Structures are given as C-alpha cells and as structure tokens.
C-alpha cells in the first residue's frame, strides 16, 4: 500500500495526540517533523511537502517510516550524537593497562585501590585531560571491566527484630540531643598480614588476584567507635578479640565521654558472642571499681546502656559503615610487605586527619538505616 495513503488513514485517530505533541515540543527539530506529517495528512503529496518544507525526499520518507513503525515516540525521539573522545586510542589502552596491572601508589597516590576519582586524578596528572566521573564509568565499561567485590554471605535477616531495633535506635538518638548524653556505635575488624583484596577493576568473569603471603596469618583486632551525632571516631587495637578485650575498649570509651561531661551513654553493638551479657556485667563492674578507687562521683552517676543489633543485620550498625570506609580507603590491596603495625598506623593516620563522616553525613546515614526494614531495595548511601 502507498506510504502516503497509510499515513492518511491514521490521521483521524492521531490528530489529538499530534496537537499535544506540538504544544509539548517547542524546538524546531520536532516541530518540523510534526509539520511535515500534518501536511501529508492534509492531502499534500510527498513532492509538495519536500518543496514547501525544503526537505530532501529521503529525509521525509525516513520521518514517515519512523512514524509508521513507532508512532510519535519514535518520530520525536531525541537525537543522539557521538561525543568526541578526549582520550586517544593509545591513551585508552594505556589507562586500561594501568587499571589492571598497576596501583595508585605507583603514581604517587596514597592508595592501593583504583577508584574513579583516583583514575580521574591520574588522567589529569599524566595527560592534562580533565574527565568527569560520569564519563569514566562508561569508559570502564568500554574497556570490558567490572568492579568485582567479595562479600560475606550473611544469613536471612528477621524483619520484625530489625524494625524493633530501628525504632529503639531512633528513639535513643532523639533522646541524646542534650549535651550530657551520647550515642556511640562500636564494631570490630581484623588486620591480617594477608592483603584485603575485596575490590579490583578486572576483566568480566575473571577473578582478580593480588600477590600475598598466605602462609603467614598473624592477626590484630581493631575496635572502631563512631559518635552518632558528631561523627567523631576512635580506634583501639588488641592482639585478641575476646570478651575481656571488648570490655577494655568499652570502658575506655565510657571514660572518655564521662570526661567530656556525658552522664548517659548508649553503646550500639552487634550480637556477637563477645558482646552479650558477660560483657555488660564485666564492663559495669570495672567502671564501678574505677569510680570507687578514683573517688569519681561523675562516673558513679553515669548510666551505661547497651543496644544490640538483630542477627544477620550488619547494615543496621553505623560502625559497619565506618569499617567499610576504613577498609576501602586504607587497607584494600596493600602490598604484602606491610606489617600489621604499619597497617594499624595507617588506619590511625587516616582517622586522625579528619572525621570520615561529618555530622550532616551521620544524619544522612541514620535516615538511611531507619528506612532499611521498610525498603529492601535501598543500597548503601554515598557519603562523599
């Protein structure tokens, strides 16, 4: 059937939609297409339309075919143009090789894991080319790379317990507005001589590897605390992670806040075996003994309470996000020549420079945690 006749048969049912599209699109490009289509509807031949609209015949036929096969959506689809590449083919090959076989430390950056920001800094320093982060990720995709990650396989969470914990946490945080109250999250992590290799840019469907001395596995346990209001952090390292070591960290944390004038301290911990009733009893006994020996009335009047996250719910503990930051910024892909003490010093150095989370970021993180039991699709927030 003739193309013009087929289009004219669609006119009665599409004229109202045509008017809506004409009002919606103010630019010349879509309106020119709509005007040509309306002229064909009104009975003009293709030759007449080409002459009056100053169009080539092939261009008009292409527009009409778009309308016949996809309607207004296809006819008025935005134009996509090729963006000039800032990096040459050779530079892109070099960048891909660097991401796969080099580390940021090889180029004077204090890190051993490639991120988009570090790749951005490298490109600017090496070639004086400034690319946005939104351009780098499609570039990595063109390289055939994916950001591969290993994570712990947690068991099934319990929604009711999670919802109850979040309600309790929200109330505790709101109650802690006075200056004499503090809410502190605490969690543990391990330093090993084996490098942490959780993240790497690698070719798809491959397992990225980092050289390591796997036979030697000495371990150092780190205890991180984060203030839920100010974002201030603290870190302690112990050779073991038993209940007595956790008691030591808890008591030091409480004493630090008592010296700052706090009289009501809530500690948020996970439900590990070393964090249960024995910890609470031992910590309170030791604090009571210190208050008696030091004749410290403020410590005697201080209330210490413990709030435990539900099983299999690491995302509900704010300290987990701090540990995630510490690992990503300071520990991933360190060379195997780093000793445990050097790794511990590196963590202390990064935390001493400035708090990783500002008070505004802590509030954003808490709002994210409050939404987790209700929305299963929520991902970890970007706190940059």
Structure confidence at residue 150 (pLDDT): 41
3-state SS class at 299: helix
Structure confidence at residue 247 (pLDDT): 94
Burial of 258 (0-12, 13-18, 19+ CB in 10 A): buried
Structure confidence at residue 12 (pLDDT): 84
CA angle (266 as vertex; 179, 289 as ends), nearest 5: 100
Tokens, residue 117: 């920001």
Whole-angstrom distance, CA of residue 114 vs CA of residue 104: 6
Contacts within 8 Å (CB) and 24+ apart, 120-128: 122/95, 122/98, 123/87, 123/95, 127/87, 127/91
Picking from 157, 110, 204, 175, the residue whose alpha carbon sits closest to that of residue 305 is 175
Structure confidence at residue 119 (pLDDT): 92
Helix 133-142, helix 89-101: angle, nearest 10? 80
Picking from 172, 197, 233, the residue whose alpha carbon sits closest to that of residue 366 is 172
Structure confidence at residue 383 (pLDDT): 45
| Length reported for the chain | 384
3-state SS class at 153: coil
Strand 181-192 to 264-269 pairing = parallel
pLDDT tens, per residue, the chain with 384 residues = 477 788 888 888 888 888 988 898 888 889 998 999 888 888 888 888 899 988 999 998 898 888 888 888 888 888 877 666 788 889 999 999 999 888 888 998 888 888 888 999 999 999 999 988 888 888 888 888 877 654 444 456 678 888 889 888 888 887 756 677 888 999 898 887 766 555 677 777 676 666 655 555 778 899 999 999 888 999 999 988 899 999 999 999 999 999 998 989 999 999 888 888 999 999 999 999 999 998 899 898 999 999 999 888 888 999 999 998 888 888 887 887 888 899 999 999 999 988 888 889 999 999 999 988 877 554 545 444
* 267 close to 186: Cβ distance less than 8 angstroms: yes
List of residues 6+ apart from 323 with CB closer than 8 A = 187, 189, 224
Whole-angstrom distance, CA of residue 260 vs CA of residue 268: 19
Residue linked to tokens 């004229």? 15
Structure confidence at residue 208 (pLDDT): 65
Domain segments of the chain as ranges: 3-75, 89-143, 159-371
3-state SS class at 227: strand
3-state SS class at 148: strand
Whole-angstrom distance, CA of residue 356 vs CA of residue 358: 7
Structure confidence at residue 212 (pLDDT): 59
Structure confidence at residue 98 (pLDDT): 93
pTM reported for the whole predicted model: 0.60
Domain 159-371, second-level architecture: 2-Layer Sandwich (3.30)
């Amino acid at each position: 059937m003739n193309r013009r006749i087929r289009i004219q048969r669609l006119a009665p049912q599409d004229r109202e939609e045509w008017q809506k599209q004409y009002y919606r699109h103010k630019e010349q490009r879509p309106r020119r297409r709509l005007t040509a289509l309306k002229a064909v509807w009104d009975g003009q031949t293709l030759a007449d339309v080409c002459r009056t609209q100053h169009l080539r015949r092939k261009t008009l036929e292409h527009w009409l075919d778009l309308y016949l096969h996809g309607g207004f959506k296809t006819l008025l689809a935005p134009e996509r143009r090729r963006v000039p590449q800032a990096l040459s083919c050779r530079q892109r090959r070099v960048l891909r090789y660097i991401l796969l076989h080099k580390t940021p430390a090889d180029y004077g950056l204090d890190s051993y894991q490639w991120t988009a920001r570090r790749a951005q800094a490298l490109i600017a320093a090496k070639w004086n080319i400034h690319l946005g982060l939104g351009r780098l990720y499609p570039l990595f995709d063109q390289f055939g790379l994916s950001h591969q990650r290993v994570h712990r396989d947690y068991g099934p969470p319990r929604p009711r317990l999670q919802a109850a914990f979040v309600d309790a946490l929200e109330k505790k945080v709101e109650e802690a507005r006075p200056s004499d109250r503090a809410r502190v999250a605490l969690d543990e992590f391990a330093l090993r001589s084996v490098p942490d290799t959780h993240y790497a840019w690698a070719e798809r469907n491959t397992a990225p590897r980092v050289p390591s001395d796997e036979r030697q596995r000495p371990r150092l346990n780190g205890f991180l605390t984060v203030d839920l209001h100010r974002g201030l952090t603290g870190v302690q390292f112990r050779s073991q992670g038993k209940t007595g070591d956790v008691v030591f960290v808890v008591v030091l944390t409480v004493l630090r806040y008592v010296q700052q004038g706090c009289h009501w301290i809530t500690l948020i911990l996970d439900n590990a075996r070393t964090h249960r009733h024995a910890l609470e009893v031992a910590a309170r006994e030791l604090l009571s003994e210190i208050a008696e020996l030091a004749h410290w009335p403020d410590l005697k009047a201080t209330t210490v309470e413990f709030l435990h996250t539900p099983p299999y719910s690491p995302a509900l503990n704010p300290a987990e996000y701090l540990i995630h930051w510490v690992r990503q910024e300071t520990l991933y892909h360190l060379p195997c020549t780093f000793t445990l003490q050097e790794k511990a010093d590196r963590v202390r150095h990064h935390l001493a420079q400035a708090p990783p989370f500002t008070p505004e970021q802590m509030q954003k993180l808490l709002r994210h945690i409050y939404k987790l039991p209700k929305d299963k699709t929520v991902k970890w927030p970007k706190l940059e």
